[in-house]
Structure 1
């Protein structure tokens, strides 16, 4: 039986306005898209601060590398610097110190490493190590003028008596490992960047 009232089938009426036609579907789609978009913006507003707080702060990024001019260091001298809030030793070895380090049989060392393993090619006279004893984290002596360099002419840890040689290798005492050589590179003949 045909509809004689002239109104559309109630199944096609917009629920909000009661107006027949396709507008109801379009309006519903728009409302769904708007709701999902609003929820997405809200999720980003909540998640962004949580993720951004995990990024390193500006002071940490500033300390992630240290640039040093080592051109003024004379053979036999060392300087102390700071890298990531820890002491850093940079020492220019004399020919006698290089010969002493190379004269040790690597197989006799507690933590076997040659001087060449601990320096950069072409810069075998420049030793860069962290100034932290590998036993309990004390700062060894030997980088400043007149400090006790230990029995092997390198570094001496006064806390528990660890002795390091001219290549920063552990030779005597409780320290289990050599002084750590950080990642570094020469950017010129006289400038190094650590980190």
Structure 2
């Protein structure tokens, strides 16, 4: 009859049938492989989900608007669209610039200088969203022959808000100036809005 000492081979020794203990490096490799396989699988699942949250091509196309300024004469304004909202682009005359600069900031509800609302070197180009800051109506004054209001800028026909030549609120219920969107000049006659 075999004793307990004879039945169990000593540690590290091969058994009677040639069995050996499992290699610890093989176990580590299997764990790394399983974790790597799981990480790649999670990435394959998550990447399309995250990518589906990116804006579509039609939305990206609407995110910027390029405006050609070459046909806009001094004293003239045009209406275009930016992100489905009206956009006013106005070429100010030297008189309109002087008129805007003469207004003391203390007389303004939303104090901003004309220089703060335009780009350096392009002080004659005033670019604003054409949406009244009161209730979102489209002010008049950008089209030929439209009412520019008592301050020579824009006039909102809905509730009587009047803006000056720098599109700053001067009279009426609108709380703030017309919004100046982000824009940059890509050349002397082209501006990219957005």
2:13 touches 2:20 (CA, 8 Å); kept in 1? yes
Matched, 1:176 2:175: yes
DSSP 3-state at the match of 1:46:
helix
With structure 1 as the length reference, what TM-score do the two structures score?
0.84
Counterpart Cα distance in 2 of 1:168 and 1:41: 55
State the partner residue of 2:192.
Answer: 193
CA displacement, residues 11-41 of structure 1 (integer Å, 9 cap, x when unaligned): 878xxxx862366545544543343233222
Change (3 A) 1:78 1:12: farther
Counterpart Cα distance in 2 of 1:46 and 1:158: 53
Note the residue ranges of structure 2 that are not aligned, 5 or more in a row.
Answer: none
DSSP 3-state at the match of 2:46:
helix
State the partner residue of 2:149.
Answer: 150
Q: How does 1:1-195 map to 2 (within 5 A)?
A: 20-21=19-20, 25=24, 27-195=26-194
Change (3 A) 1:190 1:25: same
With structure 2 as the length reference, what TM-score do the two structures score?
0.84
Give the ranges of 4+ consecutive aligned residues of structure 1 lying more than 4 Å apart after TM superposition.
7-13, 22-27
Aligned CA RMSD, in angstroms, stands at 2.7
Note the residue ranges of structure 1 that are not aligned, 5 or more in a row.
Answer: none
Counterpart Cα distance in 2 of 1:163 and 1:106: 16
DSSP 3-state at the match of 2:167:
coil
